[in-house]
């Protein structure tokens, strides 16, 4: 196993972890926005 292969694999793992984290942040942010808008609707009605 060459060092280049190892570093490339580590880079791919980092990119995958970063993608998962960013998706989780986006999804949780959308859920927060949705619950906030529902609360606003409840207050308005």
Q: Residue 34: its pLDDT value, please?
A: 93
CA gap 24, 30 in Å, rounded: 10
Q: Report pTM.
A: 0.58
pLDDT per residue over 1-45, tens digit each? 577 888 999 999 999 999 999 999 999 999 999 999 888 888 776
Tokens of 39: 């609360």
């Amino acid at each position: 196993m060459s060092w280049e292969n190892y570093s490339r694999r580590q880079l791919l793992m980092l990119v995958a972890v970063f993608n998962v984290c960013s998706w989780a942040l986006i999804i949780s942010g959308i859920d927060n926005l949705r619950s906030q808008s529902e609360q606003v609707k409840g207050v308005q009605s």
